[in-house]
Chains A and B, each alone.
Chain A
Amino acid sequence: MMPVLADPRPRLSADPAANTPPIYLDNQSTTRVDPRVLEAMLPYFTEHYGNPHSTSHPYGRIAAEAIEKARGEVAALIHADPREVVFTSGATEANNLAIKGAAHFARAHPHSGQVRDHILTLQTEHKCVLESCGELEREGFSVTYLPVEADGLVSLAALEGALSERTLLVSVMAAHNEIGVIQPLAGIGALCRSRGALFHTDAAQAFGKIPLDVEAMKIDLLSISGHKIYGPKGVGALYIRRRPRVRLLPLIDGGGQERGLRSGTLPTPLCIGLGRAAAIAGAEMAEEAQRLRRLRDGLLRNLTRRVARLRVNGDLEQRLPGSLNLSFPEIPALTLIEAVPSVAISTGSACTSASVEPSYVLRALGLPDALANASIRIGLGRFTTAAEADFAADALAAAASRLTGQGDIPT
């Protein structure tokens, strides 16, 4: 009973038709656990299986100490204090906790003379942010869903205009899961601070990939996911500012773990995995970003040359290094995806990728439905090789020309 893990890197077969795993270009959806992360986690599944809250014996203490180290690694990547990091079951929970927790605390502890019952967010936020806001709306909070510009970025002037004395919280995604654009976080943070509103950012896609600094960017709440940064699924974290203190009501109460903000036995191996993943991402960020940007730009050049009227959705500069969202005019995305089984890509957010509705994100960018339905998302990652990126570009270009019957654009 000693299961050995397979080689983590998908290999590029000389014969793409062979039954090999497809090239994985869906790294926004989830990522492969880095072998170094896995190695760090394994002992905490087995030898060190103690309940980290059973501090009366060494099994528990070993687990508790390792968790605190991991908390420090997560905090370091965003220039936070470890005490400002609360582990959760993932970014969805972190987003729910940040938004609903802040709103519920404000309602339960009204400031004399000043009611804050307004939430400001973007139309392009992740479903879990939009639905958390929707729940608050049904509870009587007012929510503004601000549109974005055609490039996917929020206009700071529009944001400032929508802020009011009653604005409690502004929630803006750091880097977008579908289109990859990076919002002007420091600008948003400064605006929020000057108006006394809390600034929450869903950094599930950005954490570990671009530099984030909660001090410089004046971020009050920041959501983190493990499985988007080559860490495990089932774990995430919420950064909660201590100075000035941000107060939340917990979503999940009980044993009082995580300073009462998130009860439940902490999953030690998962927390260790998130910590290690954060440390690796931090150490390798600059170099890896450069490598991915090069691969991505190469892939885009290759496709632009060969696919007529190819369109990039979202700003090309303010963008995650490995991320692309492309429209192939007149080719329905699902048809294109089916035509390249050797490449694993998606139409957009995995949570909604089974739905046939056009992406609400692309609609918010002003894309007509026909074009939104002809869009795919490409996510290059740590294990993507140059050969794979080239192969994917070839496969996509060939499929596109087959499907439009126009033939490859001569180069």
Chain B
Amino acid sequence: MSASIMCGGAVRRTVPQAESYLDWNATAPLRPAAAAAISQALARWGNPSSVHRRGRAARQTIERAREAVAALVGHADPSAVIFVSGGTEANHLALLGSGRERVFVSAVEHDSVRHAVPAAQVVPVGPDGTVNLDALDRLLAGDRRPAVVSVMYANNETGVLQPVAEIAAITRRHGALFHCDAVQAAGKLSLEAELIGADLVTLSAHKIGGPPGVGALVMTREIDLAPLLRGGGQEYRRRAGTENLPGIAGFGAAAAGAAEEITVYDRVAALRDRLETEIAVIAPDAVVLGTAAPRLPNTSAIAMPGIAAETQVIALDLDGVMVSAGAACSSGKVGPSHVLAAMRIDPEIAASTIRVSLGWSSDEAEIAHFLRAWATLYRRRRGVAERARAA
């Protein structure tokens, strides 16, 4: 059989209308190198725990991927990497496995962190979306029991970056563990675990051009971590279950590719900035959220006042532009964003905010496509509003 994984370019052929995919924070297309690695792993199948040579070959594939993933966060020791089924599981393993009596999570964390420990205390953020460091310091000082603090590197909805080095300093001072969900930051920013200062870092493959169904928790120092999934002794006894061999191979290749091509995001940042400048020209009343803090180079949270985000997403979709109204996992359900609420964004503005997220292959044409569609919707709605006022 001659099945092969096709790469790049294939998207446009399948859909008649011009399409612009600007929902990269939900998921990214597979990198060609990751596709190749997945193909190879599928062809050389074997259970990595088996002693025979097929098993040993599979083991080697996994260890090579482990090195690439460790390198993505600037960590020299591959054994720091625990492969899991994705970012959600990694976040659970970090918070539940660390066994700390007190758990603190920021108010803007992903649901997979917020819901991992229902009794977790929430660390507030300021209007700029960054964690209130004084509040964190006070919360940690208030009680001497062992604690773990979970703050994401970059927010999935707004792209706002947290002052992770400062957070690390505070947690270290209080002897608390620092877990950092770097799912959105990975591949878009140079990630040095040492600089982040985090003890535990969460990564997801499908956000960096690897396949869905695989992620990692990186332990930058030895932590006694209780497994979430019990069974076989895989992943240094920290995560039972036969390893997702092709997924892990694809993750490794994607991590290597992402690290190598990180400078692409200079170009992406310029595109994103141009998009935001144009939005301001088209609609003086539009609001871009999170700009008071450093942000990811690829993300824009844009409010078109007076029009529900869901309406915008559907209208843009009809024009072939794909964006989202927030996190993908919850984009099926209607409800205000906890991220924007935590930043004390006016609920009406929050309800009219869409997320536009770019990636390494985003180009001028897609940005222009988005702006055309967005401007059309904006002018149509404003025209309706003005006619209503005149009548």
Contacts and interface: CB of A to CB of B under 8 A. Distances in A.
Contact of B329 (A31, A53, A59, A233): A53
A255 B212 contact: no
Interface string A17-52: 000011010100111110100110010011111110
Interface in A37-90: 38-39, 42, 45-51, 53-60, 88-90
Given A53-B329, A58-B317, A59-B322, A1 B85 contact: no
B106 interface: no
A93 interface: yes
Interface stretch (B7-15, B139-147, B336-344): B7-15
A57 to B, nearest CB: 4
Interface string A243-258: 0000000011111110
B229 interface: yes
A126 interface: yes
Given A251-B92, A350-B242, 10 more contacts: A26-B50, A38-B42, A46-B29, A227-B242, A263-B88, A263-B329, A265-B328, A267-B247, A269-B211, A351-B240
A94 B52 CA distance: 27
Contact of A344 (B50, B212, B246, B330): B50
Interface string A318-355: 00000000000000001001000100111101111110
7 contacts: A1-B36, A46-B29, A50-B27, A56-B331, A58-B15, A131-B230, A255-B88
A92 interface: yes
B3 interface: yes
B115 A131 contact: no
A88 to B, nearest CB: 8
A337 B29 contact: no
Given A5-B1, A21-B54, A269-B212, A234 B85 contact: yes
Contact of B11 (A31, A47, A264, A265): A47
A362 interface: no
B199 interface: no
B6 A47 contact: yes
B47 A59 contact: no
A321 B43 CA distance: 25
A6 interface: yes
Given A47-B14, A346-B52, A255 B111 contact: yes
A188 to B, nearest CB: 22
A254 B111 contact: yes
A90 B370 CA distance: 39
B231 A5 contact: no
Nearest to B240: A92
A346 B231 contact: no
A45 B5 contact: yes
Nearest to A134: B230
A57 B322 contact: yes
A46 B26 contact: no
Given A92-B229, A267-B247, A349-B232, A51 B328 contact: yes
Given A59-B322, A252-B89, A256-B333, A270 B247 contact: yes
Interface string B22-54: 010011111011011011101101110111111
B91 interface: yes
Interchain residue pairs A-B with the least CB separation, the first 7: A255-B329, A128-B231, A351-B232, A234-B244, A267-B213, A254-B112, A89-B85
Given A21-B54, A24-B54, A55-B332, A352 B230 contact: no
B108 to A, nearest CB: 14
How big is the B interface, by class? 35 or more
Given A49-B27, A89-B85, A227-B242, A346 B230 contact: no
A301 interface: no
Contact of B244 (A51, A89, A268): A89
Interface in B91-137: 91-92, 110-116
Contacts of A375: none
Contacts of B1: 5, 7-8, 35, 39
Contact of B324 (A56, A88, A126, A352): A56
A378 interface: no
A356 to B, nearest CB: 11
Contacts of A48: 14
A251 B91 CA distance: 12
B331 A53 contact: yes
B240 A263 contact: no
B54 A22 contact: yes
A54 B331 CA distance: 6
A96 interface: yes
B225 to A, nearest CB: 14
A284 interface: no
Contacts of A268: 212
B245 interface: yes
B243 interface: yes
Residue in B33, B234, B322 whose Cβ sees the most chain A Cβ within 10 Å: B322
A360 B114 CA distance: 40
A344 to B, nearest CB: 4
A350 B50 contact: yes
Residue in A29, A46, A266 whose Cβ sees the most chain B Cβ within 10 Å: A46
Contacts of B375: none
B291 to A, nearest CB: 24
A140 interface: no
A136 to B, nearest CB: 10
B256 interface: no
Contact of B26 (A33, A51, A227, A351): A51
Contact of B230 (A96, A227, A270, A347): A96
A135 interface: yes
B191 to A, nearest CB: 20
B206 interface: yes
A393 interface: no
Nearest to B117: A253
B232 A92 contact: yes
B324 A54 contact: yes
A50 B21 CA distance: 9
B2 interface: yes
Given A46-B5, A54-B23, A57-B23, A234 B213 contact: yes
